Amino acid sequence: FPLVNTWRLGKLDRENKDVWIPPTDLEITVAKSNIGYKKIKLVSTSLIKSFDEQKLDVNAIAKGWGVDRLFIYIQSLGYKNFMVEIGGEVRVSGSNNRGADWRIGIDSPEPNFQPGEKIFAVIPIKDKAMATSGNYRDFYEYDSKKYSHIINPITGKAVESNIASVTVLAANCMDADALATALNIMSLSDGMKLVEGLDGIDALWVISRDGNLESVKSSKMRLD
């Protein structure tokens, strides 16, 4: 969280408080010293921090976790065919009202369109969860340059990539949510190797090349 928050706050101009400025290398270095999963210990049901400045940010899995909790609750009531959606993250059970697989649209990763206004692809799913992550809506801008809200924990800097969005299918939505974010940070080749090596995981990458959008999908990903 310290690193994400450093980018979120930026370095505000002293005279124009509404102007966001990217953090300096020194500020990034300081923030990086306060992060790292190896510095947090899990003891029974408790998390123990190594130092006071350490904080956790669960934004990359929170919506997915919420979808899963609602899904399990609705399932416990005896419902067989239903869909749960929070902020674009989805988990489905059974069939839709037409008795067919659920068909979920993927937004075209372009900042000028509202959710659902322009669909890039449609994915049929059954008894699975789906999550999408990208930098096309949530970003910072300074001096005509856009900075992704997704931060590379190794470099400490905003991700710079031609990956516009990644959609992941998984057994549960929290895993799909986490993987979608991680695959935005990884290169396409490394991400593909990861996905192909995981059971029950499929992914769709939307790549921006020369102003055009192209799709790349894992071997078992189906599109309508």
pLDDT at 214 over 90: yes
Q: Specify the DSSP class assigned to residue 158.
A: B
If asked whether residues 43 and 154 sit together in one domain, one would say no
Q: Are residues 124 and 196 both part of a single domain?
A: yes
Q: Which are the contacts of 185, defined by CB distance < 8 A and separation ≥ 6?
A: 150, 152, 153, 159, 161
Q: What is the tens place of the pLDDT at every residue in 35-76?
A: 777 888 888 888 888 877 777 778 788 999 999 999 999 999
**160 and 65 within one domain:** yes
Span 131-155, average pLDDT: 79
Cα distance between residue 224 and residue 218, in whole Å: 15
In a domain, 223, yes or no: no
Residue 194 lies in a domain: yes
> How many domains, the chain?
2
- Residues 165, 65 share a domain: yes
In a domain, 121, yes or no: yes
Q: Are 42 and 121 part of one and the same domain?
A: no
**Which range, of 122-126, 141-145, 166-170, 173-177, averages the lowest pLDDT?**
141-145
Would residue 54 count as lying in a domain?
A: no
Nearest Cα to Cα of residue 149 among 48, 10, 47, 49: 10
Question: What average pLDDT score do residues 170-184 get?
Answer: 95
Flag whether 192 is in a domain. yes
Residue 159 in any domain: the answer is yes
User: Which residue, among 5, 10, 33, has the nearest Cα to 20 in the 3D structure?
Assistant: 10
Contacts of 98 (CB under 8 A, 6+ apart): none
**Same domain? 28 vs 73:** no
Check whether residue 110 and residue 160 sit in a common domain: yes
pLDDT the model gives residue 14 = 47
Strand bridging mode 89-93 / 82-86:
antiparallel
Are 73 and 43 contained in the same domain? no
Structural domain span for residue 35 = 2-49
Structure tokens at 15: 């005279």
Task: Name the 3-class secondary structure at 56.
Answer: coil
Answer whether residue 198 shows pLDDT above 90. yes
CATH number for the domain that contains residue 69: 3.10.520.10
Q: How confident is the model at residue 158 (pLDDT cuts 50, 70, 90)?
A: confident
